[in-house]
Structure 1
């Protein structure tokens, strides 16, 4: 046997020993023991369980590369604003978790709520804190005409797209609709003069403008679909626990594991923050204090009315979906009193690097957020779902956490931070 063959045999034997050693290492006793029910919960919370983003039946263009390229250009174009200085990327900055780090969104003026990240939007059935939109493309349209965000008006926005993006628009959506000669400014949501100019347009012209406007949103949504969360230390820990990999549990410290146990048990966080994106995608009133006690935000109660009246919702004429594909939208009621003061459950992924917190940035730290739930204050408007101390609550128990518990829970929340994947 020549030396080369011997060397290869020795190398192969070494690899086999290394593999066996790795297997033995994984069979080492688990540092942290969990019940079968808890392991099942941890398995369901791994990011990989999110799977492929569900296709949006209302947007037939969202998976086309050329649509995403157009959407990326629109997402970063400051010309789509009244003052020429605000783009979608101004509030959803790629280097800031696709947020802005502010208490209130800042466009051409200051908004009244926090900016939400775009990651995970394709998984959410309703968008914005109040759920007034039911698709990523419809959501993208709102800020363009909002007086505090882009401050644009529909006709001016469409004129710019047809002038600056005619070719890429045509490659995605086909022939550009005939709009004829348009006024300088017109919109159903603008100033009194803009609304009057909009009403003066022929119905066919308004429809063509709306079609281009809707397609702008569909292109932006195609780009946002490519932005996603990456795995965190928590995901590595959960995977190790599910696989029986003892050393893999070193991904979390002892304090972080204590926080995780609280998250799953007496902290009751998992009640709403569950699944791979750590959100139930629902709306809850948890007694978050309003910034203006005399004029509290009505939240989902108002969002429902706007959603059902929205011409760009799933059932609208600019949707690509069939009515039967619009699911829950057909059964929502604008008079659901349980939605008063309720806000969308945000994903907890990367939450530690996205202060401040709640729909209007009421809390600056995670400790303060956890303390709020431990205190379980009554709601200023509507009825809080949290159980008050001593209350006989049908669904929940009162949350009792010590000062150390609060620190441990906040420490665990820090393990949910991972990279943000975005197209290059």
Structure 2
């Protein structure tokens, strides 16, 4: 099992701002649905749909993954983040400013051109690689883990490059095959960057926090080779102006393999921990499996697949880890402020299980309303309200963890 080196952890405020921003962006996504007239869940090409998708991919998932990387790499892989707090602050500003500009441009195109958001976001992903890749390359040991994370980071750069090209096409600066490159952009972002990174990190977090087995090296290696081989083939064909036959089927099968593989590793675990994180991942994996089924069913179900992946499945996976990291951040902060020899509240006292279970229930309820809205059972506005409340609860849980840590410090000062 990978050993965590807490002394290498960054200043807790560094990853915390990203994790809190992820929940705030979830609220933004809910608000977009509340304001929507129903078109956001009707067609993948509408401005409201694209704005909602990027609120999730850049705002929710982007912030959660950037923040988790800044915490995970120094602690679990002993990777040094270049320029520390100042670099992270710039990264946070670039990511969120770019995401905000792009979402506004997609939802209200008369207000701002989308190429501004694309350029800023391109800078954010370039900066991410600049501060992480040198340390990841220089770190010793754990070659498979570092290889998987490095591939995911490079996939993020390809995603950003394609995104810049697409917004330049929307702005009329270049002439491109928009629908074709949009599919490639989505594939590299969702499968190569997000899913690839989750698969790599799961080798550490699943055994450590859930008690689940890690995937066999050969099987996971074969999955990653197939994944990036498919994405490279899609990119090369798209640059030649052609569609890769069977790309949707291949992507659906790879997504299904990830979901069913994760569920099987949980089922086969000898000492699976009955903790909220385990159920967060189980529910998220089930949603991803359902999304894979929608992808395999045909192009007519692409919106449903997108909702299951971007708004339900992946947020459940990252929120479960987000809560664990939040507790660790509070504990590390107390340890550094109080020094050695002080009996500190445990990680799970800062983010109690009841808060995690409550948040899981709210996210599952929001997911159910989203599925019902896709099926036209309820209006999209109702799903937006549920989504907004679920992510608002995430903000409250994270703020409560900080408040509990501050309360402990104040009580300790009064007792002196």
What TM-score, normalized to structure 2? 0.24
> Which of the two has higher C-alpha Rg?
1
Question: As a proportion of its length, which structure holds more helix?
Answer: 2
